[in-house]
Amino acid sequence: MRRLIIAGALSLALAGTAGAQWFDPPALADRNGSQGFEFYMLEVPDPGSMTMDGFADDWGWYDPDYTLTMDEWREEADRPAPDRSDLNITTFMGWKGGSENRWYVFLEAYDDILDHSGTAIDRWQGDMFQVGLDPQDHGRERSPASGYTMEWLMAPGDLSPPTNVRFRYTEQEAWLEYGEEPWMDFAVRVDPPEAFAAELWTDGGTTFYEWSVTVLAFQEDTGPGDSEVWQLDAVAGAEGTGLPFAFWYEDGEGPGASFGVDEDGNSTGNSDWTTRGPEASARQYYAHSLLLRAGEFAGGATAVESSTWGQIKNSF
């Protein structure tokens, strides 16, 4: 479904020069979701037109052939994917270099049961979402505590403290601002709106996550203001080294649901979805994406609106 205008793009630099630069990263089959094929981020033509409000109308430029669908995720315990009437996740990913150097994402998740129990953003036993970036691809060699990977937690509901997006690692307090403007602009929205803060909503609903974030090299303990901006133009293009990312989607089904047992033998009502590959037992297996420039994908011929999402999802 994805097409490149530049021939031979999927040969990648991963096995050659990138292998020397990025410490011989694992093969895509061990790294990228359930299928082992490449992920893509498309260059945003006009960052000024992008509004992080949880609506897709500013993604009309996006080529739907590059939509990330449920088929490209896997369940962490290798349980089979649910029917799309149960859970269906659809995602656009974009990027912009130059003075922006930002990662843009619009994610829509339809779920037949919305589990928003609790007020913590890191609830893990209800619906929540975690995203990560590792620009230098250091996560394959160093633990997350080394400060080379960056992750954010996202969830709907009336949370305490009252934020629906938070930078995960709080050992250095200065890094909490990496989940706030101007570094990150975001929205978390639920349709129907009355389900946003419901403990358990059994009539089905759709959660929308939309954000853009300045991509940093993530080096200084003193916070993002003292850290180097990662130059996306330098790693972009069909032959570029790209950008490692990861998604983790927690799908809560409410009391009584059981998908298995945790390490303590307790029943768990969550299924855990990820874009990492089957060998992803640690964060060194971030998924890999290519940052396609405007001339490397068709683009511009679509008119994506929120009302057309059902048709887009059915087409996959």
Residues 34-68 have pLDDT tens digits of: 888 899 999 999 999 999 999 999 999 999 999 99
pTM of the model: 0.86
Which residues does 299 contact at the CB level (< 8 Å), separation at least 6?
42, 45, 61, 62, 63
Residue 47: the pLDDT is 97
Residue 84: the pLDDT is 80
Residue 315: the pLDDT is 44
Are the CB atoms for 273 and 284 separated by under 8 Å?
Answer: no
Q: Which helix (H) or strand (E) holds 241?
A: none
Q: What is the per-residue burial (b if ≥16 Cβ within 10 Å, else e) of 33-57?
A: bbeeebbbbbbbeeeeebebebebe
Are the CB atoms for 205 and 175 separated by under 8 Å?
Answer: no
Ranges of residues in the chain with a pLDDT under 50 are: 5-23, 143-147, 260-261, 265-267, 306-311, 313, 315-316
DSSP reduced 3-state for 289: strand
Tokens 């995720």 identify what position?
A: 73
DSSP state of 259: S
Are the CB atoms for 33 and 275 separated by under 8 Å?
Answer: yes
Q: Which two tokens stand for residue 9?
A: 């793009």
Amino acid at 33: G
Q: Cite the DSSP H helix spans in 78-194.
A: none
Residue 148: the pLDDT is 61
Residue 259: the pLDDT is 54
**In angstroms, rounded to a whole number, what is the distance separating the alpha carbons of residues 217 and 103?**
13
**In angstroms, rounded to a whole number, what is the distance separating the alpha carbons of residues 97 and 134?**
16
Residue 10: the pLDDT is 36
Q: What is the per-residue burial (b if ≥16 Cβ within 10 Å, else e) of 269-295?
A: bbbbbbbbbeebeebbbbbbbbbbbee
The verdict on domain 9-315 having CATH code 2.102.10.10 is: no
